[in-house]
Structure 1
Amino acid sequence: MMKFKLLLFFFLCSVILANGQNEDPLEKVMITSQEGKTEVRTNEQGELLVNVSPEDVRKFKAHAAVRYSDFGAKGDGITDDIDAIAAAHAFANQHDLPVKADEGAIYYIGGKERTAVIRTDTDFGTAVFFIDDTKVENRNASVFMVSSSQEAFELDGISKLKRNQEKIDTSLPGPCLVTVNNSNVNHYIRYGLNQDNGSPQTDIFVVDKNGNVDMDAPIIWDFEEITEITALPIDEDTLTIRGGRFTTIANQAESKYNYHSRNLAISRSHVVVDGLEHRIMGEGEHGAPYRGFISISDCAYVTVKNTILTGHKTYRTIGSAGKPVSMGSYDLSVGRALNVSFINCSQTNDINDRTYWGILGSNYCKNLLYDNCSFSRFDAHKGVANATIRNSTLGHMGINAIGSGTLTVENTTVRGRSFINLRSDYGSTWQGEFIIRDCVFVPEDGRTASAALISGSYSGQHDFGYTCYMPEQIIVEDLHIDDSNHPEDYQGPAIFTDFNSQMTDESYEEKYPYVRSEKVILRNVTTESGKDLKISDNPYMFEDVEVVTE
């Protein structure tokens, strides 16, 4: 049986020439250049020992590239090649050489805890990689890690920050990615079947060497106190990863929230992934969820294009509230990242097949883009500041988001339950504006349904850790709603679903008041049913919203 290759690890293999060694807490690599043959082996501690003969050093430099076979990879689909792959990248990182997979190779990667660290351009080409997750030593260890050689450092003298602050009082060696935390304030206190106590207040933004904040991705929170603030210098040259035909042999673990991160993790800024394919085989009756085969975090300016991914089978477990829940499992994951784009991407399975989970999960991001994508969903869990979806098709899970700034959807077809769902588990909050333009909405993928553009739920009785907002302004222009398959008592599509069925008059009191929309502008909104839009099935809740039809 042909097996699988790939993935990486959230800690780095560091390399020093000659007899040097740089230790990482979880991974160690030693490269030497001694007479004799080039070989890769491990010691009793599992450390990777790589010797490259002086003759081969000269040869690899003359070829201006490193291949996996240079370090002993068999590429036969049977031999576990992860040590050879990791060694090739370690040597390439040391000498700033690109890496190329061998054409026609089939690389098998077993469950050993080993991460290949990528710091140079890599061309996987048409090589096939089987990654076998049936017996994994460390489910949190990535197979491949695209990392920076830069190191983060603490910033001193900054004790407070303000939302939309334009400058921080510091001097830096160059453009940096700044991450700030206040562990004494909790945000995103989740409500519902996966309830939790929230996460420490955090933000991430880019500054130049003089401390000027890039206002395209502004500071979004007031920090009255800062418990940690760090700066990571941004790699300004672009690292490119091309090709690769990856297949994950799915884990057979118990269906619990034991997320697997056997993936291609990216934690370096200015990275392009072009032409990668990822498929999944061997999913059975149970399995643990995945964090994302392409996992992007703590970086900026990353583009994934011309890439084919696969939705994971949905498994169920018992959530934190003691009741059954469906577990989110992702092929794309983005966390604490800015300016991340997915261009001309799709998935192998039907975007409307409900047996597969939505393909993207994201947290703490800014400026996310889908352009010419066909995916089962877009999702922002713990907030996104500014997002754009254009020229795309979204399947059964549609557009799910909370956050701030502007959410723009253009020339896109949405086939979910609503056009945009404001996630109720995080307060159905969006502090900013929605722009919907030149789009088609097919509720429930054409199943019998009552159409609603904006869905969500808010009782006003739960503290999410922040004030919750509805979009201040919603602009809908040139939208067609295909509501031809509707119930008999259908009164026409609603702008808003009933966010709180108990709030029907002024006697209802919100302990944590919801800041509702001010204005909805409708321009050329048409329906297949011929029925006009109404404000909501709960008109009282939205009676102060101004609706302008132009």
Structure 2
Amino acid sequence: MDNHSSEAYVSKNSLNRRNAIKAFSLASIASLSGGIASASIPDENSNFPLKKLVCNDYATVQQLKMDQTLKAGNIARTYGYYTVGDGGGAEYIISEGKIQDLTGTIIITNDLYASIINSTSVNYRMFGAIGDGQNDDGIQIKEAHDFANRMDIPVVNTHGEFWIKQAKLIQILTNVNWGHTIFHIDEKFNSLNENIFIVSGREKPMTLEFDAETKARLLAQMRPGATIIPELAPYKNYLIVVTDSNDRVGVRSGDVYAGRSTKAREEFFFIEEHGRVIGDLAWGFKDYTKIVAYPGSNSYLIIDGGTFYFSGESSNIGGGSYFSMGITVNRSRTVIRNQWIGLEKGNADVAMAPRKGFYTFSYVYDVLLENATLIPWEKDRPGTEKDVPNGTYGIGGSYALNATFRNVTAEGSPIHWGVFGTNLFKNFRVEQCMLNRIDVHFYCWNLYIKDSKVGTNGITITGGGDLFIENTTCRSNSFVSFRRDYGGKWDGDIRINNCKHVPTGMGETAILTMAADDIDYKYPIGYGRTIKVENMVVDFSTVPNSKGISWLMRLSPFSRAGYGGRVFFPSHMEFKNVVVEGREQGMRLLNIPDPQNFQLSKRGSYDGVQVRTNCKMIFEDIHLEKLGASDPQAIDQVHLSLKNTSNSTYTDEYALYPSIQVNGCNEFAAHLGGSIVEMSVGNCKIIRFTGALNGSLRGSLTFTNCKFEASVIKTEKPYYSIAATLGTSFTNCIIYAPRVDELAHPELVDRIGFIQINKGVLYNHLNTRLGNDIVAYHKSQGLTFSERFISMLKAHHELESWGV
């Protein structure tokens, strides 16, 4: 407390006791046995002279107020606020004179005041909180925190029940230990803009101004990949938010928004020593309209414990406005732990207005929420007249850097909306959580999910950076859904390992859904820079009768938007060890539209001699869907397709020139649409394969240790179309009798398109074999395989004559 504050407690003519009182603990006066005791403290005007200090004991604050013998300079101690032992006991100094701030002060008479002293912590009873269900205890709770904030001491209130009604904006600047304290929140008083608790820092944010020369250097520094910005070195330990309101990005698609909703281009990051940047920059800036520095705090504020019961009511009827009803965290380096949030016993969530979230984290760096249980609020109730008009959240926020959620539980039924509803989260970690949804609407950058379970509302995000998910289960039709309304994009690396996807619907599902609408989102959209998915179980036990197609990735139907923007495509994709359980029907791989229009980060080319690939796709040990008989050239009855719906002219060298490797995928069917591809298939049974409908595939095809068993409908078309300009090669492959309309027809083997019995073989062969079914059939017909034909199966080169 500064001198000005001291004068609020003790008049100028009173004994200046502040330092003496701190040094002199009344708790040490063990001799106090009745109503009055005396002790001595050093006088401020001499080195060691002693002066009598009168100490009075009272049962309650009311008894203290009734004592007419009190004088300025007396010390008083109570054993309770309303009753002895109710927890409201405190020590006071009696002073006279006008009090400027009554927080922590009791008015005894017009001229006499009792002010709390000698406290290393405070609780709510000390300030008169009743806890009877009628009093708005939030008023006294606010006074307790105001006092703690001014004295820079913690609030320690480890038990009791309190009812908060109209009180709002209870500011928390110091540590809090709520322990087993129970708070009852009356939601009839929820506010649009005022939360109940506000966790703040003591310093205020500031708007930064630079001269033209410094601004130019700063703009040049703020770009993706920046690690040090010397111009911001003076703002060490600040969260920096850069805004260009004149540059609008992030158009939001959908009927409700009709492309009108946009956001200013913004970036946020933290500054450490010598301008070191924490938080990858995703954007560059041509200009900015504002830079604000938010202080990072030089200590951790910890809030521990607490149980919160909500009435479940609404402060208005409908309207769509979002209401506050919990804790806003605006202070960096804040830790919240060991809390439970739910409805009053016997109450239901009947609110018709959406909530912003019990926890709201905004403009913060390095925050942690752990060991917390809360509920996602109801939205889609039976009967549309009971639906909440907008999404309603249990956790919200924006501009949060290095936010960690650990051992947080928030699950519910399908009528509950997603517990998370956030924007602009960066370096976002979810560990050992059980949540019905993880959602960042706009601009998530670096998301790490580990050892968690996500419910039916799924993982829904857009943004970029690292997306790393490990040992996690997601019960949703998409393991990760990249939000269509913001372009279905991820501009970074995706790693998913040892996870389980549990589809919950009967329609199409996907491990990754990355579909967008055909509009201008005002930023590039695309499917990540690299993708690696390993050891995934897709478990249909919840919907075992589902016949919906299950994709590794579900993409937009276009690679170039109508306005001309090209979709970016990964340079590396890898899917390994994907197993389907709970139904027999397996997976499909990809349906890639118009590869000639994609935008890759690397150059590729085809010159008739070689393919210079710029994308590697690896599919290994994927449990594939068993496809029935089909037209051999049908593009919609395959596991992997590259469609050319417009023309085959490639835009430039940054179009998609892939190297595709498929290994250990049985019952495989592919249609490459005459695209430019370098493809190898190994250890697979291949039921249909079309390189090009007319002529040859531009590129090469290699088949190793593969089994060819065509599954087609009755047709005059060749069962396989595998001519390739740079060669088609077979090594250690086996040819089985084709299945036409689900029946084996060894007599139709000549229609497979690259072998005719005793007539010749096409392409390059090494140790190609005929299946026993074909051999047995032809022997039964009295046919003898010619030595020349057998030699061609053993070894044949495309430059040799194809015929015997």
Per the normalisation by structure 1, the TM-score is 0.83
Match of 2:180 among 123, 126, 129: 126
What does 1:255-294 align with in structure 2 at a 5 Å threshold?
A: 255-281=318-344, 282-283=347-348, 287-294=352-359
Q: Give the drift of 1:239.
A: 0.9
Classify the secondary structure of the residue corresponding to 2:150.
helix
Whole-Å Cα distance in 2 between the matches of residues 267 and 16 of structure 1? 28
Whole-Å Cα distance in 1 between the matches of residues 243 and 560 of structure 2? 39
Whole-Å Cα distance in 1 between the matches of residues 391 and 175 of structure 2? 32
> Cα distance 1:19–1:294, how it changes in 2: closer, same or farther (>3 A)?
farther
Q: Give the drift of 1:338.
A: 0.6
Which residue number in structure 2 is paired with residue 9 of structure 1? none
Q: Give the drift of 1:449.
A: 4.1
What does 1:122-201 align with in structure 2 at a 5 Å threshold?
A: 122-136=176-190, 138-157=191-210, 158-159=215-216, 160=219, 161-168=222-229, 169-172=231-234, 174-195=236-257, 196-201=260-265
Which amino acid counterpart does residue 300 of structure 2 have in structure 1?
T
Whole-Å Cα distance in 2 between the matches of residues 91 and 507 of structure 1? 61
Which residue number in structure 2 is paired with residue 205 of structure 1? 269
Whole-Å Cα distance in 1 between the matches of residues 617 and 313 of structure 2? 51
Which residue number in structure 1 is paired with residue 458 of structure 2? 398
Match of 1:434 among 473, 494, 503: 494
Which residue number in structure 2 is paired with residue 327 of structure 1? 390
Range 369-378 or range 162-171, more displaced:
162-171
> Cα distance 1:117–1:432, how it changes in 2: closer, same or farther (>3 A)?
same
Whole-Å Cα distance in 2 between the matches of residues 490 and 232 of structure 1? 49
Which amino acid counterpart does residue 245 of structure 1 have in structure 2?
T
> 1:454 and 2:512 equivalent?
yes
Q: Give the drift of 1:517.
A: 3.1
Asked if the contact 1:173–1:209 (Cα under 8 Å) also holds between the matched residues in 2, the reply is: no
Which residue number in structure 2 is paired with residue 29 of structure 1? none
Classify the secondary structure of the residue corresponding to 1:547.
strand
Asked if the contact 1:255–1:315 (Cα under 8 Å) also holds between the matched residues in 2, the reply is: no
Asked if the contact 2:158–2:177 (Cα under 8 Å) also holds between the matched residues in 1, the reply is: no
1:184-238 Cα offsets, whole Å, 9 max, x none, are 0112221113414312111110012422212xx1122111101100212211311
1:235-291 Cα offsets, whole Å, 9 max, x none, are 131111011110122342222221011211111111111101111355565511011
Which residue number in structure 1 is paired with residue 300 of structure 2? 238
Q: Give the drift of 1:18.
A: 4.8
Which amino acid counterpart does residue 165 of structure 1 have in structure 2?
A
Query: Which gives a bigger RCO, structure 1 or 2 (Cα 8 Å, sep 6+)?
Result: 1
Unaligned 5+ segments in structure 2 are 9-70, 82-99, 107-112, 382-386, 599-614, 621-804
Q: Give the drift of 1:472.
A: 1.7
Which amino acid counterpart does residue 578 of structure 2 have in structure 1?
V
Which residue number in structure 2 is paired with residue 549 of structure 1? 619
Per the normalisation by structure 2, the TM-score is 0.57
Which residue number in structure 1 is paired with residue 430 of structure 2? 370
> 1:302 and 2:371 equivalent?
no
> Cα distance 1:143–1:488, how it changes in 2: closer, same or farther (>3 A)?
closer
Whole-Å Cα distance in 2 between the matches of residues 48 and 315 of structure 1? 48
1:312-338 Cα offsets, whole Å, 9 max, x none, are 01059xxxxxxx995211111131011
Classify the secondary structure of the residue corresponding to 2:282.
coil
Classify the secondary structure of the residue corresponding to 1:180.
strand
> 1:226 and 2:288 equivalent?
yes
> Cα distance 1:540–1:487, how it changes in 2: closer, same or farther (>3 A)?
farther
Asked if the contact 2:525–2:568 (Cα under 8 Å) also holds between the matched residues in 1, the reply is: yes
Whole-Å Cα distance in 1 between the matches of residues 296 and 403 of structure 2? 15
> Cα distance 1:507–1:185, how it changes in 2: closer, same or farther (>3 A)?
closer
Match of 2:132 among 63, 76, 81: 76
1:45-96 Cα offsets, whole Å, 9 max, x none, are xx99525268643232xxx111111111112232111111111111111111
Which amino acid counterpart does residue 17 of structure 1 have in structure 2?
S
Whole-Å Cα distance in 1 between the matches of residues 298 and 147 of structure 2? 22
Which amino acid counterpart does residue 418 of structure 2 have in structure 1?
G
Asked if the contact 2:233–2:271 (Cα under 8 Å) also holds between the matched residues in 1, the reply is: no
Q: Give the drift of 1:513.
A: 2.4
> Cα distance 1:382–1:507, how it changes in 2: closer, same or farther (>3 A)?
closer
Which residue number in structure 1 is paired with residue 116 of structure 2? 57
Asked if the contact 2:397–2:423 (Cα under 8 Å) also holds between the matched residues in 1, the reply is: yes
> 1:92 and 2:148 equivalent?
yes
Which residue number in structure 1 is paired with residue 91 of structure 2? none
Larger relative helix fraction: 2
1:410-445 Cα offsets, whole Å, 9 max, x none, are 00011011011010000111100111100011111x
Which residue number in structure 1 is paired with residue 526 of structure 2? 469
Which residue number in structure 1 is paired with residue 312 of structure 2? 250
Asked if the contact 1:443–1:449 (Cα under 8 Å) also holds between the matched residues in 2, the reply is: no
Classify the secondary structure of the residue corresponding to 1:313.
coil
Range 539-548 or range 237-246, more displaced:
539-548
Whole-Å Cα distance in 2 between the matches of residues 464 and 325 of structure 1? 28
Whole-Å Cα distance in 1 between the matches of residues 349 and 139 of structure 2? 29
Asked if the contact 2:312–2:350 (Cα under 8 Å) also holds between the matched residues in 1, the reply is: no
> Cα distance 1:507–1:449, how it changes in 2: closer, same or farther (>3 A)?
closer
Asked if the contact 2:422–2:439 (Cα under 8 Å) also holds between the matched residues in 1, the reply is: yes
1:462-490 Cα offsets, whole Å, 9 max, x none, are 22221112112210111111135466755
Q: How many residues align?
A: 491
Classify the secondary structure of the residue corresponding to 1:94.
helix
